[in-house]
Amino acid sequence: MDKKNIGRGATILTSGNSKKFKTGSWKNRYPSHSKEKCKNCMMCVPYCPEGCIKQKDGILQGMDLNFCKGCGVCANVCPFKAIEMKEI
């Protein structure tokens, strides 16, 4: 193989480029958020390893499923059982 034609690998050339890669297709479960049960305590927000739980003005807006990997951490930490993991 010609070494000159091998591109650079494992290199992050620009900051913030993870937004371009919609990794949410990896999951086999997704979080279903109940606005009725949610108390907007925001406990789930910092626990999400993907940072894809959105809130605005103290109100939880939901999960960005383009990036959610379906780990279920948010459902486990929610003290009000407002998030249920569902099969895709």
Residues that bind ligand SF4 (CB under 6 A): 31, 33, 38-44, 48-50, 52-53, 60, 63, 68-74, 78, 80, 82-83
Please say whether the beta carbons of 65 and 73 come within 8 A.
no
Separation of CA 33 from chain center = 13
The residue whose two tokens read 């959610």 is 68
Using the minimum distance from each CB to ligand SF4, give the nearer residue, 18 or 41: 41
CB nearer to ligand SF4: pick between 5 and 83: 83
Q: Report d(CA 5, CA 12) in Å as an integer.
A: 19
22 vs 42 by CB, closer to ligand SF4: 42
